[in-house]
A and B are shown apart, each in its own frame.
Chain A
């Protein structure tokens, strides 16, 4: 038998090392994260797809280890993550069935844009004992009407949006005497209007409510509603509309002078910036459901998300993108806190314990899991005003409100807190 040449020896050694390495890599199973977001239907364009894009981008860059501090460790605690993405469309009943199918396939679920879906999923998540992180839906009722061990929400509630726009409005127009509303006729629109109306009544006792228009969700046409608002004599018009309804309102209302005759407040208007641009008239008060998108503080994390997202998708990330990335980073922070310096993957109970009352850095700034017994996030709020300058839409006169100022204390329901005079 001929002795092996030095090249042959090196090749044999390399093959041996490779064979040893294979079982090791196979042993490192990825952490499967179920992502639920609208991939079809009217909410897909403004929210669902930007959220999915952010999830894919964040997962990929976390696995590559290129996310800024404090998230430089690859994946979750060094283990890569793998996404299983499903469509949120179809309504709460369908989503409950989809959720039950998803649970055995994943380690963690992050999802849900619709408040109706969140309300339906939360008790099922508890029953299935699966860590489920709600990333976007706004209704405060999830943790105000129930208590959960396995359910968290890493984004702020709609209460914060409407209290902050009310504060912003009263600071800038202290003599405001009348308001009117145009909101979609379902949980989101009704709750948003109730919070805004109550906050305004608290901040400006005696304020007159001229009319509250509640057109059907996705009605698209608002001719009669705009006529009524124009004739109402209200100084301020509040709308929490989103998606095609919001774009339709701006397209139909602007030529009729709705934005000139009234101060218009769009509490969830930020996603429309990229779509409508300068068609949103000057002087419109705009919220982004938190300090997201153009309201994000200038941090490494915010710059990283804005740059990488813009480079890949050629549009800026909107609040849905920010909130999805925030949810993934929140779970990563809890996972790594639970893992500590150990080598073993933490079990679900340890991750849950770590996420409760956690404070972590998101692309929108610090996030405190402060409400709902440590399961509901609060954040600072930001509100601004649109201004067209040099053919571009800008957000100016941005005001920030501390999380404590625009959220109720833990254990107090939002409605009661607002009606009590926003007292701490």
Chain B
């Protein structure tokens, strides 16, 4: 069956926009797992915290009558603040005492952090939803396949691309990135070579937390920011990084793209199956490649 162009374009755009959002929230999760071997459940609440902080900062900015375009800078600032304050607080205050324990124990610990942060969010911001629609509406709309789309979606796609390229450049083209790759490859040997692994862990967690908060901050204008948004996101993010291969940035990007496009096509042609589409992709990928599309090679130690 050949599809009309008027259908293909919107489906593809929706898929890519959704994939960009998925990649933004998954990139930090896969980075933290790759370096620290922690499946960070608290990633969901860092995302939520980014969204809430964005509502407060950008809301205050707009409420003060300052130029509306500056609200985008506030979204970015909210993500950086959350990442650089809360990320190190969790890593230095709790996680650094737990390294070396079983991965399952670390999952439980980050789950506890997730629950605590969910309550902290309710204490600070209450249970009513927060709205920040101005940045979403500000860039206007454009036509695609005869339908209106918000330009904000294009900005999200650009942000995801820029984030992916920046993280990849930092990992593979900078000295610090190569140090990080060395730690990923062999933690003990890196320590023996004089690398301060503790500092690498701190920096990685802070960057991962910032990426989670970045996803939340730039999602905030498109949704009603309500208690529980972190729960929904963490399940999706786990699915994407498992499809891509835990710890692989490229895998997360491809996983997000696969899920985004399949979901978009399912919504359009078979809406009853939408709920299962993500898990269907995950099941099919794992049948073919049990460790995901780009699972990191594990060095065999003698």
Is the C-beta of A227 less than 8 angstroms from some C-beta in chain B? yes
Q: Residue-by-residue, is A211-231 near B (CB-CB < 8 Å gives 1, otherwise 0)?
A: 111111011110111011011
CB pair B133 A251 closer than 8 Å: yes
Stretch at the interface among B33-41, B190-198, B270-278: B270-278
| Beta-carbon contact of B271 and A45 below 8 Å | no
Complex CA gap A159/B138 in Å reads 40
Contacts of B271 in A (CB 8 A): 211-214, 225, 228
**Is residue B210 within 8 Å, beta carbon to beta carbon, of the partner chain?**
no
Contact of A221 among B21, B126, B129, B141 (CB under 8 A): B21
* A257 located at the interface, meaning its Cβ lies under 8 Å from any Cβ of chain B in the complex: yes
> Contact: B131 with A228, CB < 8 Å?
no
Which stretch (B74-82, B106-114, B219-227) binds chain A? B219-227
| Cβ of A279 under 8 Å from chain B | yes
Give A230 to B122 CA distance when docked, in angstroms: 36
* Contact among A40, A230, A244 with B129 in the assembled complex (CB-CB below 8 Å): A244
Q: Is A227 in contact with B10, judged by CB distance below 8 angstroms?
A: yes
Contact string, A90-129, partner B, CB cutoff 8 A, digits 1/0?
0000000000000000000000000000000000000000
Contact residues in B for A39 (Cβ distance below 8 Å): 127
Is A361 an interface residue when CB atoms closer than 8 A count as contact? Answer: no
A220 to B227, CA, bound (A): 12
Q: Are B147 and A256 in contact (CB under 8 A)?
A: yes
Interface locus among B58-66, B86-94, B239-247, B260-268:
B260-268
Q: Which residues of A contact B223 (CB under 8 A)?
A: 220-221, 244, 247-248, 251-252
Give B216 Cβ to nearest chain A Cβ, in Å: 11
Across-interface contacts of A40 in B (CB, < 8 A): 122, 127, 227
**Most chain-A Cβ atoms within 10 A of its Cβ — which of B10, B11, B18, B137?**
B10
**Chain B nearest Cβ from A179, distance in angstroms:** 14
Do A216 and B274 contact each other (CB < 8 Å), given the known contacts A231-B147, A255-B136, A255-B150?
yes
A386 to chain B minimum Cβ distance, whole angstroms, is 17
Q: Are A214 and B272 in contact (CB under 8 A)?
A: yes
Residue of chain A at shortest CB distance from B224: A247
Question: Is B15 among interface residues, defined by CB-CB distance under 8 A?
Answer: yes
B11 touches A227 (CB 8 A): yes
What is the minimal beta-carbon distance from B77 to any residue of chain A, in angstroms?
Answer: 22
The reply to whether B224 and A248 form a contact with Cβ atoms under 8 Å apart is: yes
What's the nearest-Cβ distance from chain A to residue B156, in Å?
10
- Give the residues in chain A near B6, CB-CB below 8 Å: 231
Complex: A39 Cα to B126 Cα, angstroms: 10
Q: Which residue, of A42, A219, A279, has the highest number of chain B Cβ atoms within 10 A?
A: A42
Question: Which residue of the partner chain A has the closest CB to B118?
Answer: A40
Note all chain A residues with C-beta closer than 8 A to B70: none
CA distance A212 to B145 in the complex (A): 22
User: Of A212, A227, A279, which contacts B268 at CB under 8 A?
Assistant: A227
Whether A42 lies near B227 (C-beta < 8 A) is yes
Report Cα–Cα, A44/B145, bound state, in Å: 39
A275 at the interface (CB under 8 A from B): yes
CB-CB nearest in chain B for A46: B129
Contact call A44/B133, Cβ cutoff below 8 A: no
CB distance from B272 to the nearest CB of A (A): 6
Interface majority SS (helix, strand, loop, mixed), chain A: helix
Number of interface residues of B (CB under 8 A): 45
List of A residues within 8 angstroms of B229 by Cβ: 218, 220, 244
Q: Report if B298 contacts A (CB, 8 A).
A: no
**A75 in contact (CB, < 8 A):** no
**Chain A nearest CB, measured from B163 CB (Å):** 18
Q: Give the docked Cα–Cα distance between A224 and B148 (Å).
A: 12
| Chain A residues with CB below 8 A from B231, complex form | 218
The answer to whether the Cβ of A308 comes within 8 Å of any Cβ in the partner chain is no
Which residue in chain A gives the minimum CB-CB distance to B17?
A223
Let me know if B148 and A275 touch, CB within 8 A.
no
Contact (Cβ within 8 A) B10 A231: yes
**Is the CB of B176 closer than 8 A to any CB of chain A?**
no
**What residues of A have a CB within 8 angstroms of the CB of B146 in the complex?**
231
When distances are taken between beta carbons in the complex, the residues of chain A under 8 Å from B96 are none
In the assembled complex, B45 has its CB within 8 A of some CB on chain A: no
Q: Which residues of A contact B263 (CB under 8 A)?
A: 224
Q: Is B290 an interface residue (CB 8 A)?
A: no
B118 to chain A, nearest CB (A): 8
A44 vs B121: C-alpha distance when bound (angstroms): 14
B174 adjacent to chain A (CB < 8 Å) = no
Q: Decide yes or no whether A281 CB sits under 8 A from chain B.
A: no
Q: Are A243 and B226 in contact, CB atoms less than 8 angstroms apart?
A: yes
> For the complex, what is the distance from the CA of A48 to the CA of B149, rounded to whole Å?
34
Cα A220 to Cα B133 in complex, Å, equals 14
What B residues does A220 contact at CB under 8 A?
A: 219, 223-224, 229, 232
Pick the residue among A42, A224, A251, A279 that contacts B228 (CB under 8 A): A42
Question: Nearest-CB distance from B92 to chain A (Å)?
Answer: 29
**Assembly CA distance A279 to B226 (angstroms):** 18
Residues of A within 8 A of B11 (CB): 224, 227
- Minimum CB–CB distance from B98 to chain A (whole Å) comes to 27
Partner of B131, one of A48, A212, A216, A247: A247
Q: How far is the CB of A391 from chain B (nearest CB, A)?
A: 17
- B148-A255 in contact (CB<8A): yes
Question: Chain A 251-267, CB within 8 Å of chain B: the 1/0 string?
Answer: 11001110000000000
Docked complex Cα distance between A233 and B77 (Å)? 42
Does A276 belong to the interface (CB within 8 Å)? yes
Interface residues of A in 46-76 (CB under 8 A from B): 46, 48-49
Interface flags for A265-293 (1: CB within 8 Å of B; 0: not) read: 00000000001100100000000000000
Name the CB-closest residue of A to B6. A231
A340 in contact (CB, < 8 A): no
Contact indicator B226/A227 (Cβ below 8 Å): no
Interchain CB contact under 8 A, A224 and B224: no
Are B129 and A223 within 8 A (Cβ)?
A: no
Against A, the Cβ 8 Å flags (1 = close, 0 = not) of B208-238 are: 0000000000010011111111011000000
Task: State which residues 114-141 of B face A: CB under 8 Å.
Answer: 122, 126-129, 131, 133, 136-137, 141
Which residues in window 332-375 of A have CB below 8 A to B? Answer: none
What are the 5 closest A-B residue pairs judged by CB atoms, nearest first? A247-B224, A244-B226, A44-B127, A244-B224, A224-B267
Q: Give me 5 A-to-B residue pairs in the complex whose CB atoms sit less than 8 angstroms apart, sorted by A's number.
A: A185-B274, A212-B271, A255-B137, A256-B150, A275-B129
A→B interface (CB under 8 Å): 39-42, 44-46, 48-49, 185, 211-216, 218-221, 223-225, 227-228, 230-231, 243-245, 247-248, 251-252, 255-257, 275-276, 279
Told that A45-B126, A223-B14 touch, could you supply 5 new A-B pairs with CB distance under 8 A? A40-B122, A227-B14, A230-B148, A244-B229, A247-B129
